[in-house]
């Protein structure tokens, strides 16, 4: 990989594979990076917020008082950096914290809480609020502004060609994610299979998007439903992950065949949407004749792939709706408990190792509609979720990472245990309010659950 990055030798397939391999770390160096997105809205009116005036740019500028450094694209501030953490913009102005790689869930929760305090101070000055939900509850597509970022313009033009709901994914959804390390190719394979199989369980536990344009949709996770009709070439449950022989090479072949979005040169995005990275490696892109990719182009390309679990130089858990403060810490706790303890990882695999490809695909769709009431291999998702949470809690207890109060990390799963015990998703709690005290007014969610 190093040779291809620093000389003029054209990239070959082995370079792409080695880029994934370079992510392997010894267990002592494993960290978790937590990410969450939230909708920004005008206090009082609940309207969407443009880049400017008095909008997203002002919010970014205001955060620089806390030591965040602006990142520009042209003349526009499109992100902030502080140490290994960054704040970035999603296509419709969703505000995202991509946290630093941290050792414990205690650290992650402290980082998340600090971020939410900072943005609240600045947002209050601007008359803005934040809402953690999987799908915008009331806004139409047309009401959501486009942020001034080159890759989003390219995606906006391409999405309608490959799916019916890709623009909704871009402009009207928010998620909470966790990024976890692996120690070797074999360790990556085991973690990928477990987390991909169990991703629908997380979707059910975190389901929190029952409304679109002010009305119930029939889905407890409208966000997860959107992903089923976004772009089949780059989304889904990746059945090849469960086949014999899966490893870095198999994922690299898959990624190589996912159509491209863009190439970035001199700070500008060049639209190559639908083109082949294989052709790029041969210098055959019509938009860039004779130009061949660098390893940075490959790294960029991997960020345009959106399966339920994504491999880069770590594994990304992508199945959960965004939500309230408390569940932002629960998501990384769940996956750390399952994947960073060997006994927990083995027990989790025992839960799902006999599920077949049809089970995975059916379960992914069913949990978007009925959440914990879905079934797989003769069991309800509620029952499976209880087992998953118990395994994760035991994994966290064995880690024995204590906070100042001598409390281990398993406490961050408390709310998820309550959800699993009740069999009622957070989305169904919102529907109870909608059908009861809110009297059919979904906009009440802005007042009741804003950060």
User: Which helix (H) or strand (E) segment is 271 a member of?
Assistant: strand 268-271
User: How many CB atoms neighbour CB 115 within 10 A?
Assistant: 21
pLDDT, tens only, 96-150:
999 999 999 999 999 999 999 999 999 999 999 999 999 999 999 999 999 999 9
In the predicted structure, residue 66 carries a pLDDT above the cut 80: yes
In the predicted structure, residue 182 carries a pLDDT above the cut 50: yes
How is residue 16 written in tokens? Answer: 């792409």
pLDDT, tens only, 377-419:
999 999 999 999 999 999 999 999 999 777 999 999 999 999 9
Whether the CB-CB separation of 158 and 152 falls below 8 Å is answered with: no
Pairing between β-strand 235-236 and β-strand 268-271 as defined by DSSP bridges: unpaired
Q: What is the mean pLDDT of residues 314-339?
A: 97
28 Cβ contact partners less than 8 Å away, ≥ 6 residues apart: none
pLDDT, tens only, 201-231:
999 999 999 999 999 999 999 999 999 999 9
CATH number of 31-258+305-449: 3.30.590.20
353 Cβ contact partners less than 8 Å away, ≥ 6 residues apart: none
In the predicted structure, residue 1 carries a pLDDT above the cut 50: no
The residue ranges of every structural domain in the chain are 31-258+305-449
Report pLDDT for 11: 97
Report pLDDT for 405: 72
Per DSSP, which regions of 126-267 are E strands?
A: 128-131, 175-180, 211-212, 215-216, 235-236, 262-265
Q: Is-cis flag, bond preceding 53, omega within 30?
A: yes
pLDDT, tens only, 231-280:
999 999 999 999 999 999 999 999 999 999 999 999 999 999 999 999 99
CB-based contacts of 296-303 (< 8 A; 24+ apart in sequence): 296/5, 297/263, 297/264, 298/11, 298/15, 298/16, 298/19, 299/19, 300/262, 300/263, 300/264, 301/255, 301/258, 301/260, 301/277, 302/255
Rounded distance between C-alpha atoms, residue 386 and residue 346, angstroms:
16
Rounded distance between C-alpha atoms, residue 395 and residue 96, angstroms:
28
The pTM (predicted TM-score) of the whole model is 0.96
In the predicted structure, residue 75 carries a pLDDT above the cut 70: yes
Rounded distance between C-alpha atoms, residue 32 and residue 21, angstroms:
18
């Amino acid at each position: 990989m190093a040779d291809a990055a620093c000389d003029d030798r054209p990239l070959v397939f082995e370079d792409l594979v080695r880029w994934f391999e370079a992510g392997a770390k010894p267990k002592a160096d494993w960290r978790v990076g937590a990410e969450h997105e939230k909708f920004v809205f005008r206090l009082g009116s609940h309207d969407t917020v443009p880049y400017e005036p008095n909008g997203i740019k002002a919010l970014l500028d205001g955060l620089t008082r806390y030591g965040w450094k602006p990142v520009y694209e042209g003349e526009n501030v499109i992100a902030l950096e502080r140490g290994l953490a960054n704040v970035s913009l999603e296509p419709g102005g969703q505000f995202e914290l991509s946290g630093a790689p941290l050792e414990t869930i205690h650290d992650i929760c402290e980082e998340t809480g600090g971020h939410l305090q900072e943005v609240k101070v600045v947002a209050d000055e601007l008359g803005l609020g934040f809402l953690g939900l999987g799908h915008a509850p009331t806004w139409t597509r047309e009401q959501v502004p486009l942020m001034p970022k080159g890759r989003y313009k390219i995606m906006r033009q391409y999405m309608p060609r490959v799916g019916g709901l890709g623009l909704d994914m871009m402009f009207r959804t928010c998620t909470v994610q966790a990024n976890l390390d692996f120690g070797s190719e074999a360790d990556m394979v085991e973690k990928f299979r477990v987390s991909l199989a169990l991703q629908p369980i997380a979707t059910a536990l975190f389901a929190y998007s029952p409304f679109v344009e002010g009305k119930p949709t029939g889905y407890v996770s409208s966000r997860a439903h959107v992903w089923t009709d976004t772009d089949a070439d780059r989304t889904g449950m990746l059945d090849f992950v469960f086949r014999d022989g899966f490893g870095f090479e198999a994922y690299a072949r898959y990624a190589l065949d996912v159509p491209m979005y863009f190439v970035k040169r001199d700070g500008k995005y060049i639209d190559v949407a639908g083109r082949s990275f294989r052709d790029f490696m041969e210098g055959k892109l019509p938009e860039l004749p004779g130009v061949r990719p660098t390893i940075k182009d490959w790294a960029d390309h991997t960020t345009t792939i959106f399966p339920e679990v994504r491999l880069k130089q770590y594994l990304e858990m992508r199945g959960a709706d965004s939500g309230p403060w408390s569940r932002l810490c629960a998501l990384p706790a769940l996956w750390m408990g399952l994947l960073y303890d060997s006994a927990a990882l083995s027990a989790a695999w025992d839960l799902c190792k006999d599920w077949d490809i049809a089970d995975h695909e059916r379960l992914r769709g069913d949990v978007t509609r009925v959440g914990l009431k879905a079934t797989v291999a003769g069991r309800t998702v509620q029952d499976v979720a209880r087992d998953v949470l118990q395994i994760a809690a035991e994994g966290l207890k064995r880690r024995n990472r204590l906070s100042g109060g001598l409390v281990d990390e398993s406490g961050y799963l408390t709310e998820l245990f309550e959800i699993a015990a009740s069999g009622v998703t957070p989305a169904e709690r919102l529907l109870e309010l909608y059908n009861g005290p809110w009297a059919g007014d979904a906009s009440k969610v802005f007042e009741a659950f804003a950060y």
